[in-house]
Amino acid sequence: MTAQVSSEASRVDIPQEEVLAEVRNHIGHLTLNRPAGLNAITLEMVRSLSRQLQAWADDPAVYAVVLRGAGEKAFCAGGDIRSLYDSFKNGDTLHQDFFVEEYALDLTIHHYRKPVLALMDGFVLGGGMGLVQGADLRVVTERSRLAMPEVAIGYFPDVGGSYFLSRIPGELGTYLGVTGVQIRAADALYCGLADWHLDSARLSDLDQKLDLLKWHDSPLKDLQGVLAKLAVQQLPDAPLAALRPVIDHFFALPDVPSIVEQLQEVTVADSHEWALNTANLMQTRSPLAMAVTLEMLRRGRRLRLEECFALELHLDRQWFERGDLIEGVRALIIDKDKTPRWNPATLHELDASHVASFFDHFKQVAN
């Protein structure tokens, strides 16, 4: 859903079209246009994207869609969390409507019957990941920074995270979801969260080639042919490839306290620094959010895509009242004291039955 930077977007006063749409050479181009707020997505942007995608799905003159963010800093740094915080505090329904419609948009992209090319330049966080992970062609650059950072503000990785994180090989997706760490292009390709790497300096070349593309085969094959001339599908030296054995070991442990405890005990020289840094990072995150995330991801492995979104919505409907999100937003975005009072405050105070209660009655939702 979210990233801390999204609060800036609420203070942008210049009127502008927040989603730009145009068709060139049978390609519908959609641009998230809030660069001052790192293209944090609002409910109106969700609705605008949904309307435009539906119109192009029904338009035989549109063969494919390209999705990008304005500016050089971000594709999309998440949902505009400040507006959702204000909605909850004011007793409004925006925070409820937002997730229902955002998830529906993400599902639309997963099932879209025309190819979608996502240009993931800059930050791709939370809700931004939800927009791109259903795309057919996901392009990263050297400026790309991908993450599901929700646990940092007391939330869990939603927007389909229970589906796409849980399907990354081994425990890499568990690691990304439970810690909220950012990864770069090489790791995004290694994890299967991106398909192509293109130097950001060549993005204009890509646009030019798309404008001049002669359509021959299926639209998807034609787009793949363009990318094959400009981009690569693998990069050397992905950091997560070297860390894979230790990540698979620790993040397969039964619960979050066990993970942190054993990370703190690592003495092997080539893993010690990473293990200690990971444990320290996790001790700043919401214990409840990490524990619910771990359970959600393990359940997600056994669920279909639609069921994963249903599970996330099931958690959403409880989270503003029972979770740590409101306190996390207060501490990191509103008051900025950076000292959230998590409930429970520590991993040792986690109650397994309390964590499990968030998933009560979900079978009725999924079936």
Known catalytic membership, residue 127: yes
Which of 28, 37, 122, 127 is catalytic? The answer is: 127
Looking at residue 35, its pLDDT comes to: 97
The CATH homologous superfamily of the domain defined by 4-230: 2-enoyl-CoA Hydratase; Chain A, domain 1 (3.90.226.10)
The one-letter amino acid at 311: L
Domain spanning 240-366, CATH class: alpha beta
Environment class of 214 (CB within 10 Å of its CB; exposed 0-12, middle 13-18, buried 19+):
exposed
Pairing of strands 137-140, 27-32: unpaired
Looking at residue 359, what DSSP letter applies?
T
Which of 18, 102, 158, 295 is catalytic? The answer is: 158
Known catalytic membership, residue 13: no
Radius of gyration of the chain (CA): 20
Domain definitions of the chain by residue range: 4-230, 240-366
Cβ atoms < 10 Å from Cβ of 84? 26
CB 30 within 8 A of CB 21: yes
DSSP 165-200: TTTSSTTHHHHHHHH---B-HHHHHHHTS-SEE--G
Could you state, in chain order, the average pLDDT of each consecutive group of 10 residues for the chain (367 residues)?
Answer: 44 68 98 96 96 98 98 95 90 90 98 98 98 98 98 98 98 98 98 98 98 95 98 96 96 98 89 95 98 98 97 96 95 94 97 97 63
* pTM of the entire predicted model: 0.93
Looking at residue 140, what DSSP letter applies?
E
Which of 106, 150, 195, 307 is catalytic? The answer is: 150
Sign of dihedral through CA atoms 104, 110, 116, 121?
A: positive
Known catalytic membership, residue 158: yes
Which of 79, 130, 300, 323 is catalytic? The answer is: 79
Contacts for 245 with CB less than 8 Å, ≥ 6 apart: none
Known catalytic membership, residue 154: no
Q: Say how far residue 131 (Cα) sits from the centre of its chain.
A: 8
